[in-house]
Amino acid sequence: MITVYFDTETGGVELGTFEQKISFNEADADPTALALNHYTRQEWVNSCAPQIAASRFAAWIRPHCTLERISKAGNPYRVAVLSAYNAPFDTPRLDAMFGTSFCPWDRRVRDVLQRVLWWFDLNKLGTPPENFKLSTVASYMDISADGAHDALADARLAAKVSHWLNCEAQVGF
């Protein structure tokens, strides 16, 4: 099963990347959030409307749709498996982009943050990180958090944290 790691920003082996800046009204954005997310007008020059981004994402994700499903009418189809760090934050934004259109992913998005929390609950190996922000957890695991708060960098970081957890589980921790 292929898992697609994703991340949105407000205001292991990498098979491919999709990055699309989504246009928004800068005047309506929180300046603190813009600074945190490394916003520059130049970076958003090629941004597009959410509906266009959704269409482009749906086309990009199609080859990664490996999870078989059966429709109510009995027809087989495939969807992608998505994973994100703190999925309840990002998933509604992705859902909103698609509106009533078919969403080409399994609605049960895998949450790396929940895996991290369970891992620390079950493996009492000293002091846990000071908080469970993605960059803090990555640093705790000796994973570089360079570029954090950029959607593509955060998706890659979530994949690395997930991979670290998989390796630790195999070692028997």
Q: Which domains are seen in the chain, by residue range?
A: 3-171 (3.30.420.10)
As given in the structure block, the two tokens for residue 133 are 């922000």
Question: pLDDT higher for 58 or 12?
Answer: 58
Q: Which residue has the higher pLDDT, 103 or 139?
A: 139
Closest CA to 44 of 65, 27, 23: 23
Q: How many CB atoms lie within 10 A of CB 122?
A: 10
- Proportion of the chain above pLDDT 70, given as a percent: 90
Q: Name the pLDDT band for 173 (thresholds 50, 70, 90).
A: very low
Summarize pLDDT for 80-126 with one digit per residue, the tens: 999 999 999 989 988 998 888 888 999 999 999 999 999 998 887 77
What's the rounded Cα separation, in Å, for the pair 85 and 157?
Answer: 9
Is 57 a residue whose pLDDT tops 70? yes
Q: Are 38 and 150 in contact (CB under 8 A)?
A: yes
* 27 pLDDT more than 60: yes
Position 127 confidence tier, pLDDT thresholds 50, 70, 90: confident
DSSP label of 130: S
CA–CA dist 83, 61 (Å, integer): 13
Q: Which amino acid is at 149?
A: H
